[in-house]
A and B are shown apart, each in its own frame.
Chain A
């Protein structure tokens, strides 16, 4: 810090304030980046990281405070203003044009032209070749984007930033879709950029890479800066505590043991083409098993494999010793149900009403002949409305018009019609209010209590700790830990997601 104090920061954001109707998202945030510095911005979802970045890149106007570049106040009202100020962003979802070449993408909307109309392809190509040469990227100027790997596409994004003569490059979750080896290469490129005097703002949920790479960290919580930490002072456990703002404490709760003689789901050495790499665990009747991990760790893919929606090329999935069919229709008949992550597009037929949605996977029970029985469907729907307290209690309301919590209840109701042995739930309560959350937890608990195997995948650590009897943590498609939910804290989970352990944590 002492050395930094003598230098002029490249970027200073001072007293930044931002409100959206009803919420103040940023409450006077100070943030600075020095030339040639890798600075990580940390915080839980909703802490204000992305809002701060959007202000910096001209997507949101700021309500208060100011932005300075090299000590001079700048106004950033658009993406172009940001580019002019030397700020570039490399987004999580890449913004390249798949059918155009590397060169065409890098120069898109700022093409070199000779004689007014004709593109100067030669000059553009030469410039790109030069950039590739100096930065040591492994692409060719004429490669078509869609033929490149995600990692290579990222280097194209970086070159796009370099072409704009960016001094500050913002990377938002750049490693989310890269494997370990590709990430290593990216880190090398980032250090290379740093050596060229570029500054990097780095945002990632993977703590180990943040700690290894950053010169400084700024930690946000609820729209305020809670700490700015120099590299030498980084203490992984401390940082997570800053992020969460809670003491390390675990709630005492009632844990459920497997029902003796109940069903057992065994997942052994499960591998898929692109993600899962030998996932093994067991789930028991009577328990809720939590599945945790970062985005891209393989939570959803594991559930989809069990449900028969995603094909796997290695390993086995057995229920009571019998292999589960690799096809969702047959899996349903074998007693497996999935509540998908995106209930609006995968869980429901939004234009249809509650009755039809509940009947949809259950027509085999509804009628033995070709003709279905609307009467039976309606009776089942009415029963579900009463049992699960779906509101409004109208059986012919299009599911699109229901609130998130009630939509989720309808999805659950579909499976409750059946004699379910295994219920897989992906992100059970995203976008659902607190009251409905508790009701959904109760429904899941009930299913387990009646001898069902419930597996819940969730990105919400609080939720996992609250409802799981056991928690399996996935890191990069492998099981990192299989823990009993005893004395576990959110910190333990968050550290484990990045492959780290707190000393003394329960195993």
Chain B
């Protein structure tokens, strides 16, 4: 079986096991309301993780997704309150702002040869600073203003209990899965992340690809920002803070290897569900919110160990097959 498939089944298995545990040990877990509410939360992290996954599969990392989410959220809340622009234009502007942030990230990495870690680490500070600059001020003090525009707030609504953002997220899972699996673009993202030199050698424009993955990541983060404001009714200075790490954790749980070239967005979706569900479940067991990071850490370590074991098994098997070939005198 393929590594991606095994990895996805492991994540899915874990998801089901924990769901059953929580389902049978706590009340209301398997209620429609609880599930849809959880999924709303999943959608935000899921969008971040899904976009970020493109960068990671391509062999990089994007640490600025949380800041881009915050920026987009602030832009959305200002535009809704201060202008009469139609909602779809506002959403478009936010996503475009995300695209610009992504292009900057991409160019720093591809054009100026900065490491992904440093480049996006730095821009995360800068994008966060823009959030401060755009924030409302009353008498010089930063205040949070609630968005009251009903049309905009309806983006955070639901149909039959299922939130619109969950529907959008689910559709995007399908779209991104298709793009990665069934288009040239997707194949090139994997090729770039798995062996950048060979990809370049084969004639793939790696720089362009790199920039495009950052643009996808940032656009998805921006979209998540819009939904967050529509849901919670306001943007504040710390919107999205720390979410970049949760998103990376979700991607890793879902089978995206930080070394690049592995995993897909269906896996990321499973990982996002797992992460949100377990954190929520542990909360019900009395684990305080600020203890959550312990869980992210443990999960990342466990999954990284799994990947390391897999790679070691593969190299062992290659050596073994070499030995067999030499003793049997053939059948390599």
Contacts and interface: CB of A to CB of B under 8 A. Distances in A.
B146 interface: no
Given A100-B187, A181-B325, A184-B330, A108 B194 contact: no
Nearest to B330: A181
A129 interface: no
Contacts of B319: 273-274
B202 A104 contact: no
Contacts of A32: none
A108 B328 contact: no
A70 interface: no
B203 A149 contact: no
A404 to B, nearest CB: 26
B83 interface: no
Interface in A129-185: 138, 144, 146-152, 179-182, 184-185
A97 B261 contact: yes
Contact of A99 (B188, B261, B326, B328): B261
B204 interface: yes
Interface string A267-299: 000000110000000000000000000000000
A179 B190 CA distance: 31
Contacts of A99: 3, 190, 193-194, 261-262
A121 B187 CA distance: 12
B191 interface: yes
A113 interface: yes
DSSP majority for the B interface?
Answer: helix
Contacts of B314: 146-147
B284 interface: no
Given A109-B204, A179-B325, A181-B328, A147 B317 contact: yes
B4 to A, nearest CB: 9
Contact of A117 (B183, B198, B322): B183
B47 to A, nearest CB: 23
A138 B325 CA distance: 13
Nearest to B183: A117
A79 interface: yes
A99 B193 CA distance: 9
Interface in B181-201: 182-184, 187-188, 190-191, 193-195, 197-199, 201
Contacts of B262: 99
A109 B182 contact: no
B3 A144 contact: yes
A185 B321 CA distance: 14
A401 interface: no
Interface string A443-485: 0000000000000000000000000000000000000000000
A149 B195 contact: no
Interface in A89-137: 95-100, 104, 108-109, 111, 113, 117-119, 121
Nearest to B261: A99
Given A151-B325, A179-B326, A181-B325, A111 B198 contact: no
A124 to B, nearest CB: 11
Contacts of A196: none
A373 interface: no
Contacts of A109: 188, 202-204
Nearest to A118: B182
Nearest to A117: B183
B317 A98 contact: no
B331 interface: yes
B182 A100 contact: no
B332 A97 contact: no
B306 to A, nearest CB: 16
Contacts of A138: 331-332
Nearest to B192: A97
A80 interface: yes
B288 interface: no
A148 to B, nearest CB: 8
B182 A149 contact: no
A119 B184 contact: yes
B330 A97 contact: no
B190 A96 contact: no
Given A98-B195, A149-B321, A111 B184 contact: yes
Nearest to B203: A109
A151 B332 CA distance: 7
Contacts of A180: 326
Nearest to A147: B314
Contacts of A98: 194-195, 261
Interface string B126-165: 0000000000000000000000000000000000000000
A108 B187 contact: yes
Which of A104, A111, A147 has the most C-beta atoms of chain B within 10 angstroms of its own C-beta? A147
A297 to B, nearest CB: 15
Given A79-B203, A104-B187, A108-B191, A96 B328 contact: no
Contacts of B232: none
Nearest to B198: A95
B34 interface: no
Contacts of A148: 318
B290 interface: no
A80 B194 CA distance: 23
Q: Which of B197, B261, B322, B328 has the most CB of A within 10 A?
A: B322
Interface string B23-64: 000000000000000000000000000000000000000000
A109 B190 CA distance: 12
Contacts of A121: 182
A113 B322 contact: no
Nearest to B204: A109
Contacts of B329: 181, 184
Contacts of B317: 147
A96 B198 contact: yes
Contacts of B328: 181
A78 to B, nearest CB: 9
Which 6 interchain pairs have the tightest Cβ spacing? A99-B261, A99-B194, A95-B198, A151-B332, A179-B326, A109-B202
Given A99-B3, A100-B187, A149-B332, 18 more contacts: A79-B203, A97-B190, A98-B194, A100-B194, A104-B190, A109-B204, A111-B184, A117-B182, A117-B183, A119-B183, A138-B331, A147-B314, A179-B322, A179-B325, A182-B322, A182-B326, A184-B330, A185-B332
12 contacts: A97-B190, A97-B191, A99-B190, A111-B184, A147-B314, A150-B322, A151-B325, A181-B326, A181-B330, A182-B326, A274-B322, A274-B323
Interface of B: 2-3, 182-184, 187-188, 190-191, 193-195, 197-199, 201-204, 261-262, 314, 317-319, 321-323, 325-326, 328-332
Interface of A: 79-80, 95-100, 104, 108-109, 111, 113, 117-119, 121, 138, 144, 146-152, 179-182, 184-185, 273-274
